[in-house]
A and B are shown apart, each in its own frame.
Chain A
């Protein structure tokens, strides 16, 4: 019987339409499992590949019957214009496996993918996976992806908040000018005043003998007001209290001193 001349096929498992007829340029799309089987057969063109090896390649980690493999081989033969009787391209080796006739199919694959052990090739839907089970897997995977994206979004927002907060801390710390304070003791009272000429002058103006209850005086001013805070401790109590004053500029220093002496005890 004269052997029928077949056209050469180009097989690229990374493409959407993996199988291309070189003579007419038409492409065909293979199922994932069929693709993996053809991929393995093409890698060992002219040699017999065992059924177990083909099953392991197409359904890794799963227990499937040989009928599934037979069905996939039948699909591939149809796709290649071959059939089980002629076996012009895919040959059955009885009780052993299958082989692809050399030089009829050209296997093309990017170098990077070859190094990656073909991890991203033949990613089509498994042919014999029940539709419902497959849809459930897709649904679960999609949910996980959404959950992952949601968590990443929340984390990103929190981190944005965190970075903003840190930026504010740095901003406040670097842009706020602190006042320098002086501290002087005079007749049992500690005076705190700003480290300026006016501050020193106010200390000189306000120092005098006050009530024995007085412990500390904080003095500050602006063009409108004079501010004083006193910390005092009544003799008969183990407590300290504070009192805050705000004097308009119309008050004389003597009146201010009198008010402090009167209130801070």
Chain B
């Protein structure tokens, strides 16, 4: 009985000690999140031009993103891809912000059967079809632009950030 009581006491102490870590973790997680992600009205978009093997073989895509909080430093990335031929694909990713300019993306909806897949270039296909988690390094972060590089294949890209219907203003 005495031993049981002591063990229980140690267990409770452990729980209390680890509970104290919770606020630290919440604070840490919040510190990883870029400022635009904390605003629910943030609209993110980017335009990509892919120049293929033959001259004039250009593909155009405009991608709109919307971030939805999921858990701590993890967000749902609701994505609408508008292709140059007028077609549109909606999909979702999980994006997680890590410390020191790193974030990762994991797909939720697979686009294996989507005919539009032919329009994606290699880095996008890597994310959309290969599965797993892709890691990105942030290069530039302002309230209006966010530039990053996909570390697995060194593809750099930038997105425009705006709040609601406000247009991007010069920082």
Contact = CB atoms under 8 A, between A and B. Distances in A.
A50 to B, nearest CB: 32
Given A159-B19, A239-B170, A229 B158 contact: yes
Given A152-B11, A243-B47, A176 B155 contact: no
A66 interface: no
Interface string A140-184: 000000000000100110110011011001001100111101000
A245 interface: yes
Contacts of A228: 156
B170 A176 contact: no
A176 B123 CA distance: 18
Interface stretch (A31-39, A99-107, A246-254): A246-254
A194 B151 CA distance: 12
B155 A227 contact: yes
Contacts of B160: 240-242
Given A162-B21, A246-B155, A248-B51, A240 B145 contact: yes
A169 B50 contact: no
Contacts of A162: 18, 21-22, 25
Contact of B1 (A120, A179, A230, A259): A120
B98 A192 contact: no
A219 interface: yes
Contacts of B157: 227, 229, 244
Q: Tell me the dominant secondary structure on chain A's binding face.
A: mixed
A156 B54 CA distance: 59
Contact of A221 (B15, B100, B154): B154
Contacts of B100: 173, 178
Contacts, number: 143
Contact of B155 (A178, A225, A238): A225
Interface residues of B, number: 54
A216 B158 CA distance: 11
Given A159-B15, A176-B102, A218 B158 contact: yes
A263 interface: yes
A224 to B, nearest CB: 6
Contacts of B104: 172
A255 B145 CA distance: 26
A10 interface: no
Contact of A166 (B25, B48, B54): B25
B115 interface: no
B50 A246 contact: yes
B46 A242 contact: yes
Given A162-B25, A239-B169, A242-B160, 6 more contacts: A176-B102, A240-B160, A242-B159, A244-B157, A248-B52, A251-B51
The 9 closest A-B pairs by CB, nearest first: A242-B158, A220-B156, A229-B158, A238-B170, A172-B98, A227-B155, A159-B18, A246-B50, A218-B156
Interface of B: 1-2, 11-12, 15, 18-19, 21-22, 25, 28-29, 46-55, 72, 98-102, 104, 121-123, 135, 137, 139-140, 144-145, 147, 149, 151, 153-160, 167-171
